Amino acid sequence: MTSTANRSALLVTHTGRRHSTEHAASIANDLVRAGFEVRVVASEIGDLDLPPGVTPVFGPSAAEGVEIVFALGGDGTFLRAAELARPNKAPLLGINLGKVGFLAEAEISDIDQAVADVVRGAYTVDERLTLDVKAELDGELIAESWALNEVTVEKGQRAQMLELRVDVDGRPLSRYGCDGVVCATPTGSTAYAFSAGGPVVWPEVEALLLVPVAAHALFSKPLVTAPTSTFVITVDPYTSVATLCADGHRVFDLPPGAKVTVRRGAQPVRVVQLAPRPFTDRLVAKFDLPVLGWRGTKRR
């Protein structure tokens, strides 16, 4: 049995959903009863009916020193919680209260058992590869960020195609007239990169993905490269404006001529695993794959 002395947890939830706030209150009660210090992001605390003693926290240091961060919601909530967990090296546990929730470790039905496992210390922690990205114009830094799932360079005007040149490891690869390019991690291979036609990569694999989106080119296949590779995506000086987006919500404008550099992140995201589970099972469950086939198992 793990001692609860000086143990603490941060709760991040989707406050716009009533059942999310109810589950957050239930988890907070269970953790407080188990002797945890429970923290909640200050901007969310007014929407939650929480027990006495819960601590409101502010800013990027909200997860500093905590044993674990709970993300209660869908993948968007998980990615938002990752922003707080990553700089503080705090393990992140996702509990899916949304629809697919591919990043979550547990479902709604698992909440009580998940909290009990955390209290007992019955969990392990995996490190997930991330991306670091910076954008420059004429040698001047104009944007900098990171991503757990993906970094995208996309067209900024719906009616106009984007012209991009892609270099890999310092060598030119191809020029695309396209809607954009997705640079993804194995964790993000089941997100935007998957929708754009990229491969599913097991999260234990160390690799980077590059997936063109709706490219007008003879060669527009998705690429899987070494984790040490560097992608440089240059927005053609004579094309339209573009947009740089990290994990779907950190967005920056890219003027023509901008150069975007993407490489493996210096700091991973630490993700909680409650029990060993083959990634194949997660794929089948989340995508509802037809394991039996449309004819089932009966033979005539």
Active site residues: 75
Instruction: Confirm or deny that 214 is annotated as ligand binding.
Output: yes
Tell me what percent of the chain is helix, strand and coil, each rounded to the nearest 5: 20, 35, 40
Instruction: Confirm or deny that 80 is annotated as ligand binding.
Output: yes
Instruction: Confirm or deny that 90 is annotated as ligand binding.
Output: no
Instruction: Confirm or deny that 242 is annotated as ligand binding.
Output: no
Instruction: Confirm or deny that 123 is annotated as ligand binding.
Output: no
Q: How far apart are CA 80 and CA 25, in angstroms?
A: 19
Instruction: Confirm or deny that 6 is annotated as ligand binding.
Output: no
Q: How far apart are CA 165 and CA 25, in angstroms?
A: 49
Instruction: Confirm or deny that 82 is annotated as ligand binding.
Output: no
Instruction: Confirm or deny that 190 is annotated as ligand binding.
Output: yes
Name the strand (E) or helix (H) holding 194. Answer: helix 192-195
Q: How far apart are CA 39 and CA 58, in angstroms?
A: 10
Q: How far apart are CA 168 and CA 207, in angstroms?
A: 13
17-20, long-range: CB < 8 A, 24+ apart: 17/73, 17/97, 19/97, 20/72, 20/73, 20/97
Annotated binding residues, written as ranges, equal 75-76, 80, 149-150, 179, 190-195, 214
Binding residues for NAD(+): 75-76, 80, 149-150, 179, 190-195, 214
